[in-house]
Amino acid sequence: MHYDVIILGGGPSGLFCASNIKNKKVLLLEKNEKFGKKLLVSGGGKCNFTNNDNLKDLITHYGNKKNFVKKALYNYSNIDLLKDIDFEYTITEEGKIFPKSMKSFTVLNWLLKNIEKKKNIIIKTGINILDIKKDNNKEPFIIKTQNAIIKTKILILATGGKSFPALGTKGDGYNFAKKFGHNIIHPKPALTPLIIKDFNLIDLAGTSMIVTLKTNNNMKFEGNLLFTHKGFSGPVVLNASRYLNNGDIIKLSFVPFRDEEEFRNDFFNVLNKNKNELLYETLRKRYKLTKRFISIMFHNLEINNKLKCNALPKKVRNKIINYLYNHTYVIEKLGDFNVAMVTKGGIDTKEINSKTMESKLVKNLYFIGEIIDVDGDTGGYNIQWAFSSAKAAADDISKK
Ligand SMILES: Cc1cc2nc3c(=O)[nH]c(=O)nc-3n(C[C@H](O)[C@H](O)[C@H](O)COP(=O)(O)OP(=O)(O)OC[C@H]3O[C@@H](n4cnc5c(N)ncnc54)[C@H](O)[C@@H]3O)c2cc1C
């Protein structure tokens, strides 16, 4: 069997790439019995497939990979994607874009329909790749499966990262790439919850609030934090997790002030104005803290519920300021690959042409989607990357 192009992996990047390749005989092989298993669970089963950002902002959501992703995202942006889809969509207040059906299979069906329309594509599921070889730049790639030996001029690795291995993504593609001499940036879980050492906010589990999170390398994140039984999750934490490691210290501010001094002044003023009021009530009203949050803070700081504002010792005042503005937590562990939404790390971007996604080491070898050392914030940026990188490769291959 001989093909022009073989794509390994039937997630959003592999499927979208296949349908965009023109004038080539394409074979797409997926290891699972079904395509797009991860796409189906994305966005809680609703699939937040892109974001409403303008292009300039869009590229800032990929951390230090901004320059690498730029060409592919400018070549095929969120606007281009929204023109291409054949289903209605909805945009949330934060700019996340979902199918109007709020069902991820709407997106998967669109991808599969696009493939069905093309006569040049063969798709197969349940295929286990045993080996991939290429003797030199002139020879085709030789792919050995459990039943066949298949040859192809062009090979695209779209096998994803290592997150949610139960869905078929165990990092197979990294091993294939290593065989061709590629460097793999150590894959680690990202967009993942934090397990906190000596966590003492268990009673808040299930509740959320707006916070500012600072990392020990001075990065600052603002947004919604969700308390869990073991630590923190929610968008602000998931996004920060892309830059955190086990053992790191984070600082949380539960009150919206620019710096500690500003908060200290405000707190002193409030205490002065409400001398005869209960501290508990004053904190609740002024800083919009929940009763549960204040009760737990009072318990942790050993403050009496009946304490009035004018009876607050200086030492306790400082403890409250510290608790609300600069509370430090030690990360015992980042959530592992079983809970992480994406993988940070993967095929080294230095070895990939950012315009075409072709390997700089091996001619006609391409990488698309999450297998590459590119990860984005929550908000639809990772699936947009899968589509944009797939389109970059498809455009280049169509010209060959
Ligand atoms: C719970 C969860 C929620 C998420 N929600 C969102 C969201 O709302 N928005 C967003 O932008 N991103 C989200 N993501 C991330 C997003 O789903 C991925 O970044 C995206 O699916 C990556 O696409 P991909 O095609 O590169 O890889 P994948 O979707 O991982 O697809 C890779 C495919 O390759 C197959 N494969 C692996 N090895 C082989 C092999 N040896 N041979 C053949 N096939 C193989 C796999 O079975 C898989 O089907 C979420 C991820 C998770 C886990």
Whole-number Å distance, alpha carbon 39 to ligand 1 midpoint, is: 6
CATH, range 2-188+345-398: 3.50.50.60
Residue 10, pLDDT > 90, answer yes
Average pLDDT for 16-22: 98
Query: Closest Cα to residue 160, out of 365, 394, 375?
Result: 375
| 127 touches 35 (CB < 8 A) | no
Ligand 1 proximity of 164 Cβ (cutoff 6 Å): yes
The predicted structure's pLDDT at residue 147: 87
CA distance 41 to 55: 26
Residue 366, sorted as left (phi over 0), alpha (psi -120 to 50) or beta, turns out to be beta
CATH, range 193-335: 2.40.30.10
Ligand 1 proximity of 14 Cβ (cutoff 6 Å): yes
Ligand 1 proximity of 356 Cβ (cutoff 6 Å): no
Report the atom number in ligand 1 closest to the C-alpha of 163: 53
Whole-number Å distance, alpha carbon 273 to ligand 1 midpoint, is: 55
Residue 67, pLDDT > 90, answer yes
The predicted structure's pLDDT at residue 111: 98
CA-closest residue to ligand 1 atom 9: 380
Per-domain residue ranges for the chain? Answer: 2-188+345-398, 193-335
Report the atom number in ligand 1 closest to the C-alpha of 382: 11
Ligand 1 proximity of 377 Cβ (cutoff 6 Å): no
Ligand 1 proximity of 168 Cβ (cutoff 6 Å): yes
| Cβ count within 10 A of residue 101 | 16
CA-closest residue to ligand 1 atom 30: 160
* Tokens matching residue 51: 């974001």
Ligand 1 proximity of 13 Cβ (cutoff 6 Å): yes
Average pLDDT for 212-241: 95
Report the atom number in ligand 1 closest to the C-alpha of 164: 53
Ligand 1 proximity of 99 Cβ (cutoff 6 Å): no
Average pLDDT for 222-228: 96
Whole-number Å distance, alpha carbon 320 to ligand 1 midpoint, is: 44
Whole-number Å distance, alpha carbon 68 to ligand 1 midpoint, is: 20
Ligand 1 proximity of 48 Cβ (cutoff 6 Å): yes
Residue-wise pLDDT for 20-60, tens only, equals 999 999 999 999 999 999 999 999 999 999 999 999 999 99
CA distance 269 to 273: 6
* Tokens matching residue 146: 């459990």
- φ, ψ at 263 (rounded to 5°): -65, -45
Residue-wise pLDDT for 80-93, tens only, equals 999 999 999 999 99
Query: Identity (one letter) of the amino acid at 223?
Result: G
Where does the pLDDT of residue 137 fall: very low under 50, low under 70, confident under 90, or very high at 90 and above? confident
The predicted structure's pLDDT at residue 353: 98
Residue 135, pLDDT > 90, answer no
Q: Do domains 2-188+345-398 and 193-335 have the same CATH topology?
A: no
Whole-number Å distance, alpha carbon 339 to ligand 1 midpoint, is: 13
Residue 136, pLDDT > 90, answer no
Ligand 1 proximity of 96 Cβ (cutoff 6 Å): no
The predicted structure's pLDDT at residue 242: 95
Average pLDDT along the chain: 96
The predicted structure's pLDDT at residue 1: 78
Ligand 1 proximity of 32 Cβ (cutoff 6 Å): yes
Ligand 1 proximity of 388 Cβ (cutoff 6 Å): no
Where does the pLDDT of residue 114 fall: very low under 50, low under 70, confident under 90, or very high at 90 and above? very high
What are the start-end ranges of the H helices in 180-325? 235-241, 260-273, 279-287, 291-301, 314-325
CA distance 108 to 11: 9
Residue 194, pLDDT > 80, answer yes
The predicted structure's pLDDT at residue 222: 94
Task: Rank 128-132, 147-151, 153-157, 276-280 by mean pLDDT and report only the highest.
Answer: 153-157
Whole-number Å distance, alpha carbon 329 to ligand 1 midpoint, is: 31
